[in-house]
Chain A
């Protein structure tokens, strides 16, 4: 089985570019040059340099002793939370901003849900002195005031998406419309492994630094350059794509993707796409998505804004359908429990997204000598309000 994208932009039967003709030129332009540029020595050098000096890579692979004792396995945490801006998102924005510059683009647009990708985009735009417009659902703007302020402080213009449900999927729609209206100078910087080909492949490549580092870090620490299991959360799926990337063809590595069950998969308040979704098209890509029998895309729910998306990237759809990946879910409550447990045992406050990955430790069978890497995709500063609410209710 092949897990990389084929010439037509498909992972198995998923992916492709189901886009209106108005986007054809933009997407084609990107498709025709992205590999040449990002595979060039010059690009690689600049990218690696920025990841090292600006982002703070490599991120540690930390052996979590107390967590390991509790779960009876060797558990390592890939510390993406220690990246500049607090999550793995910046790996991708650094890569894409360099690409945009090489393509001669002068204006950057992006979509954001909770604001993490928006902040990571605004950050690299400040770094590169490029104008930045971030589309964000009107409701998310209200919910995520600190990130809106961060983006604005970084010089980005935050535009409210007022259509539809006024959340991430609508912000994505608005960004796509902006790109249609500004095809010459504008680069659309997508934040996850979603959207039309070549975005899923390109974003996965930029995030693949996560598993690239894991390989040699594991070798140093365990003498073996791969783990038995890799666990990562999946909304759109960019951190999971990065954490899985170099292990896709190594069948000895179990790839575990954790979706957000929300209040529970049968409650109607969930973001567990593979559990309750079906095959279809969202944002230009054939994949699994949450929809009704009429093909109308339905609203997801998760306590974690980063997982609150009604689709998954086409790579993950392929991993799910081919059974290469193991797909689990964690509810809001399970994620919260896992966040408090990690904080207590290891002194690390995780992002709510990453807490879903941690919650999977309770759901899988572990053997004593097994090596498990959990991708700790982001830190919990942004989620303190939610955590405070839990602590106050606990009193």
Chain B
């Protein structure tokens, strides 16, 4: 497991694609990941649908609602990841909200995630101080790695703290926005990317939020090891008559 994340970051221009588990159809999770890998994606971030996803925009919230209606559960997600791991070697990041872990049971969740082959977790509403005090040792016990977020407003001191605790990668939120925002990168954002780059942080960085096409992906790659695309991919899946074709075209247009 150590190797999956590290090996991936040997490369440059990492493309991490976010998908909502159980969307558009309950069983699509497995197919989508397999197709993404086939088309050269370097990492996947699988979202665990939550009723009140504060850090996400309308596109991801909508896909989450549909997935919940489809009947997605954490147990099913773990089964799907187990299925995916039979053929897939790239890192799998699991993203969700802290309440989901609390109800599942933190330790049971971590144990299960590690067992099915998850590499890293993103829990946006788990504060870093509470993580350090209460959950860090458990996460490490199961060999999982956290990835935490920073934003244009995160202080330098805090960036270093967050980077230190982000054992998979540092999630650089590109703007003052929730996911699925604007499609262009503004000047204040590139200045912020410059600032982050100049900090010479050892932790690999992936830029996310507002990365939606080749142009924004390339910009992100100038400042970080790669980027995460979420809402734009979910939108592409939304009206797809043929998942395989849509995914092939989507990835080819970016990388």
Q: Do A and B form a real pair? A: yes
Residues from chain B with a CB closer than 8 A to the CB of A23 are 54
Instruction: Give a binary string over B53-74; 1 marks a CB under 8 Å from any A CB, 0 the rest.
Output: 0110110011001001000011
Q: How far is the CA of A339 from the CA of B51 in the complex (A)?
A: 35
B116 within 8 A of A: no
Question: Are B124 and A20 neighbours in the complex by a CB distance under 8 Å?
Answer: yes
Question: Among residues 143 to 182 in chain B, which have CB atoms less than 8 Å away from a CB atom of chain A?
Answer: 148-151, 153-154, 158, 162, 173, 176-178, 181
The reply to whether B73 and A173 contact each other, CB–CB distance below 8 Å, is no
- Interface centre among B57, B103, B126, B158, by most chain A C-beta atoms within 10 angstroms, is B103
Q: Scan A263-303; emit 1 where CB is below 8 A from any B CB, else 0.
A: 00000000000000011111110000001011111100000
* A22, A23, A25, A298: residue with the most chain B Cβ atoms closer than 10 Å: A22
Contact of B54 among A17, A173, A298 (CB under 8 A): A173
Please state if B127 and A164 are interface contacts (CB–CB under 8 Å): no
Question: Which of A's residues lie within 8 Å of B, judged by CB?
Answer: 16-25, 163-164, 169, 173, 176-177, 180-183, 278-284, 291, 293-298
Q: In the complex, A17→B129 CA distance in Å? A: 11
Let me know if A177 and B54 touch, CB within 8 A: yes
Contact B103 A181 (CB under 8 A): no
Query: In the complex, which residues of chain B have a beta carbon less than 8 angstroms from the beta carbon of A176?
Result: 54
> Can you report 20 A-B residue pairs in the complex whose CB atoms are below 8 A from each other?
A18-B130, A21-B124, A21-B149, A21-B151, A24-B154, A25-B151, A163-B62, A176-B54, A177-B178, A180-B176, A180-B178, A183-B153, A278-B103, A281-B98, A281-B125, A291-B99, A294-B104, A295-B50, A295-B97, A295-B102
Q: B23 CB to closest chain A CB, in angstroms?
A: 15
A177-B57, A177-B178 known; A291-B103 Cβ under 8 A: yes
Is residue B39 contacting chain A, with contact meaning CB distance below 8 A?
A: no
CB of B52 closer than 8 Å to a CB of A: yes
Tell whether A293 pairs with B149 under 8 Å between CB atoms, given A20-B125, A164-B65, A180-B176. no
Residue A21 contacts which of B51, B57, B68, B148 (CB distance < 8 angstroms)?
B148
Contact B103 A280 (CB under 8 A): yes
Is the pair B149, A20 in contact by a Cβ cutoff of 8 Å? yes
- Nearest B residue to A26, CB-CB: B153
Whether the pair B104, A295 counts as a contact (CB closer than 8 A) is yes
Does the CB pair B74–A21 fall under 8 Å? no
| Shortest beta-carbon distance from A357 to chain B in Å | 28
Contact B127 A18 (CB under 8 A): yes
* CB atoms of A169 and B73 under 8 A apart: no
Given contacts A177-B54, A295-B104, 20 further A-B contacts (CB under 8 A): A16-B130, A17-B127, A19-B54, A20-B124, A20-B125, A21-B151, A22-B124, A22-B149, A22-B178, A24-B154, A25-B154, A163-B62, A181-B176, A279-B102, A281-B102, A282-B99, A294-B103, A294-B104, A296-B50, A297-B99
- Bound together, the chains give a CA A18 to CA B73 distance in angstroms of 23
Q: Does B216 contact A (CB under 8 A)?
A: no
Cross-interface CB contact of A296 among B68, B98, B150, B177, cutoff 8 Å: B68
B100 CB–A CB distance under 8 Å: yes
- Determine how close the nearest CB of chain B comes to the CB of A295; give it in whole angstroms: 4
Q: Which of B95-109 contact A (CB under 8 A)?
A: 97-104
Give bound CA distance, A173 to B65, whole Å.
14
Contact A164 B52 (CB under 8 A): yes
Q: Which residues of A contact B148 (CB under 8 A)?
A: 21
Q: How far is the CA of A183 from the CA of B154 in the complex (A)?
A: 12
The one of A22, A177, A182, A280 that contacts B99, using a Cβ cutoff of 8 Å = A280
Q: How far is the CA of A284 from the CA of B100 in the complex (A)?
A: 13
State the Cβ distance, A32 to closest chain B Cβ, in Å.
12
In the complex, which residues of chain B have a beta carbon less than 8 angstroms from the beta carbon of A293?
A: 103
Given contacts A22-B151, A22-B173, contact A294 B125 (CB under 8 A): no
Of B54, B73, B98, B124, chain A has the most CB atoms within 10 Å of the CB of B54
Q: Are B58 and A163 neighbours in the complex by a CB distance under 8 Å?
A: yes
Q: A310 → chain B, closest Cβ, in Å? A: 10
Closest to A281 in B: B99
Verify B74–A180 contact, CB threshold 8 A: no
| Cα–Cα distance between A22 and B149 once the two chains are bound (Å) | 8
A296 and B57 contacting across the interface, CB-CB below 8 Å: no
Determine how close the nearest CB of chain A comes to the CB of B115; give it in whole angstroms.
Answer: 19
**Smallest CB separation, B16 vs chain A (Å):** 18
A174, closest chain B residue (CB): B58
Which of A19, A181, A283 is in CB contact (< 8 Å) with B178?
Answer: A181
- The answer to whether B176 touches A182 (Cβ under 8 A) is yes
- Let me know if B127 and A169 touch, CB within 8 A: no
Please, what's the 1-or-0 string for B71-82, where 1 marks a CB less than 8 Å from any CB in chain A? Answer: 001100000000
CA distance A202 to B35 in the complex (A): 51
Specify the chain A residue showing the minimal Cβ separation from B171.
Answer: A21
How far, in Å, is B48 (CB) from chain A's closest CB?
9
Report the separation of the CA atoms of residues A279 and B101 in the bound assembly, to the nearest whole angstrom.
12
Within the assembled complex, what's the spacing in Å between the Cα atoms of A320 and B208? 41
The answer to whether A16 touches B55, judged by C-beta atoms less than 8 angstroms apart, is no
